[in-house]
């Protein structure tokens, strides 16, 4: 099975995602340039972190119009597993594959540090190898990670169990002090209604080796392998 790592001109976690997939997970990975029009037969698509077009206007606003986004949307709509990390999350909300948007952190500052998130749903292709309620330690690195959606949308997300990750303390408690950016209801990551598109602000690809601080994020990538099975068919939940 093969992961495609989409490269926008200002992506900067593309190499990290590639390294994690190829050299830590041991799966096949290929970069896909944003001007290309197909995903090269990939089974999983990663939209990596970074500043896709400098993001001076709004994070992810311009990337949404890149040629590669049409095949990404088609892939997602056909049920293919898509993971958005950080800027990838922002792009996915801009393109409408995920609801809501990401505002400036409530401290108005860029924040880079280790946080904890609790896995709230394991019936997605990126959490199926985790256990429900598992606490993962992963870094964040963003200035605009403050998840916002109108109350009715938030209620619908909760009702459909689309909240996949929530910020928590080391013991798994969802408390405001553990919410680094002011995200509504502590939301760190979510999925679409069909559950194949998952995005989160923390960086699982930066947390795949204990040498660099944590290996907790590897389960996100391992889940994709488990979800696709040996025949490449998606199965979760």
Partner 1 sequence: MAIDSETLERHGLIPAEYDKILDILGREPSITELGIFSVMWSEHCSYKSSRIHLKTLPTTGARVVQGPGENAGAVDVGDGLVAVFKIESHNHPSFIEPYQGAATGVGGIIRDIFTMGARPIALLNSLRFGPLEDARTRGILEGVVAGIGGYGNSIGIPTVGGEVAFEEGYAGNPLVNVFCLGLAKAGSLVMGQASGAGNPVYYVGAKTGRDGIHGATMASAEFDERSSEKRPAVQVGDPFMEKLLLEACLELMQTDALVGIQDMGAAGLTCSTSEMGSRGGAGIDIDVSRVPQRESGMTPYEIMLSESQERMLMVVKQGREAEVERIFEKWDLHAVPIGEVTTDGQLRVRQDGAIVAEIPNGPLADQAPLYDRPTEPPAYLATSSRLDLEALPELPATDAALRTLLGSPAVASKRWIYRQYDHMVRTNTISPAGMGAGVVRLKGTNRALAMSVDGNGRHSYLDPHLGAMLAVAEASRNVACAGALPIAATNCLNFGNPERPETMWQFARAVAGIGEACRALDVPITGGNVSLYNETDGQAIYPTPVLGVVGVIEDASRVLGRVFPGAESTVLLLGGGEGALGGSEYLKLICGQVAGSLASLSLEAERALQLLLVELAGEGLIRSAHDCSDGGLAVALAECCFDTGGVGAELMMPDAPGDALGDGRIDVSDASMLFGEAPSRVLVSVADDDFGLVRMRAEAAGVPIAGQGRTGGDRIRVSLAGRPVLDIAVAEAETAWRQGLERYFEDRAA
Partner 2 sequence: MKARVFVTLRPSVFDPQGQTIADALHSMGYGGVQDVRQGKYFELDLDAATPDAARALAGEVADKLLANPVIESYRVEVD
Q: According to the binding rule CB under 8 A, does residue 46 interact with partner 1?
A: no
> From the list partner 2, partner 1, none, which binds 150 (C-beta under 5 to 8 Å, kind-based)?
partner 2
> From the list partner 2, partner 1, none, which binds 206 (C-beta under 5 to 8 Å, kind-based)?
partner 1
Q: How far apart are CA 148 and CA 210, in angstroms?
A: 32
Here's the x/- map for partner 1, 123-142, by CB under 8 A: it reads as: ----------------x-x-
Q: According to the binding rule CB under 8 A, does residue 183 interact with partner 2?
A: no
How many residues sit in the footprint of partner 1 (CB under 8 A)?
37
Catalytic residue positions?
86, 203, 205
Q: According to the binding rule CB under 8 A, does residue 190 interact with partner 2?
A: no
Here's the x/- map for partner 2, 18-57, by CB under 8 A: it reads as: -----------------------------------xx-xx
Tell me if residue 161 falls in helix, strand or coil: coil
Closest CA to 197 of 106, 133, 121, 132: 121
SS (H, E, C) 41-87: CCCEEEECCECCCCCCCCCCCCHHHCCCHHHHHHHHHCCCCEEEECH
Specify the stretch interacting with partner 2 by CB under 8 A; choose among 61-69, 71-79, 133-141, 220-228: 61-69
In angstroms, give the least distance from the CB of 38 to partner 1.
Answer: 18
CB atoms under 10 Å from CB of 12, counted, come to 16
Specify the stretch interacting with partner 1 by CB under 8 A; choose among 38-46, 76-84, 119-127, 205-213: 205-213
Burial of 69 (0-12, 13-18, 19+ CB in 10 A): buried
DSSP 85-103: ETHHHHHHHHTTSSSSEEE
Q: According to the binding rule CB under 8 A, does residue 107 interact with partner 1?
A: yes
Closest CA to 126 of 3, 26, 222, 232: 222
Q: Contact with partner 1 (CB under 8 A): which of 26, 40, 65, 109?
A: 109
């Amino acid at each position: 099975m093969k992961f495609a790592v989409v490269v926008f001109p200002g992506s900067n976690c593309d190499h990290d995602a590639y390294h994690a997939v190829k050299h830590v997970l041991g799966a096949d990975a290929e970069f896909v340039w944003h001007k290309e029009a197909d995903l090269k037969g990939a089974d999983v698509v990663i939209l990596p972190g970074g500043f896709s077009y400098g993001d001076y206007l709004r994070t992810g606003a311009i990337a949404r119009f890149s040629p590669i986004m049409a095949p990404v949307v088609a892939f997602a709509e056909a049920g293919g597993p898509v993971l958005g990390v950080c800027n990838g999350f922002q792009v996915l909300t801009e393109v409408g594959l995920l609801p809501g948007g990401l505002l400036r952190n409530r401290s108005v500052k860029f924040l880079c540090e280790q946080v904890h998130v609790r896995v709230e749903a394991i019936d997605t292709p990126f959490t199926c190898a985790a256990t429900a309620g598992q606490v993962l330690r992963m870094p964040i690195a963003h200035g605009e990670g403050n998840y916002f959606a109108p109350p009715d949308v938030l209620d619908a997300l909760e009702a459909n169990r689309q909240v996949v990750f929530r910020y928590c303390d080391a013991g798994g408690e969802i408390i405001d002090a553990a919410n680094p950016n002011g995200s509504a209801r502590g939301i760190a990551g979510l999925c679409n209604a069909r559950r194949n598109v998952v995005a989160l602000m923390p960086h699982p690809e930066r947390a795949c080796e204990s040498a660099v601080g944590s290996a907790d994020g590897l389960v996100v990538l391992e889940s994709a392998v488990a979800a696709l099975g040996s025949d490449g068919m998606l199965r979760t939940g």
